[in-house]
Amino acid sequence: MIRDFIAAGLVDHMHIVVVPILLGRGARLWDKLEGLENMFEIEAVASPSGVMHMTFSRRGA
């Protein structure tokens, strides 16, 4: 569902936390969202545990 909201331009800010654990087959969040880096300013911060915090802020918002 989040991919649909992003593709429709309805998201101004989001905070995604990526944990390096795969359960089952996993879910591919970024499929069909090419050019995301052109729509958002992206800040990524890694923690010592391997968790990646990614903050997306819409450009020009």
pLDDT, one tens digit per residue, over 11-50 is 999 999 988 887 787 777 778 888 888 999 999 999 998 9
Q: What's the pTM value of the predicted model, to 2 decimals?
A: 0.78
Select from 15, 5, 6 the least CA-distant residue to 39. Answer: 6
Whether 29 and 18 have beta carbons less than 8 Å apart is answered as: no
Whether 12 and 55 have beta carbons less than 8 Å apart is answered as: no
pLDDT at 61: 64
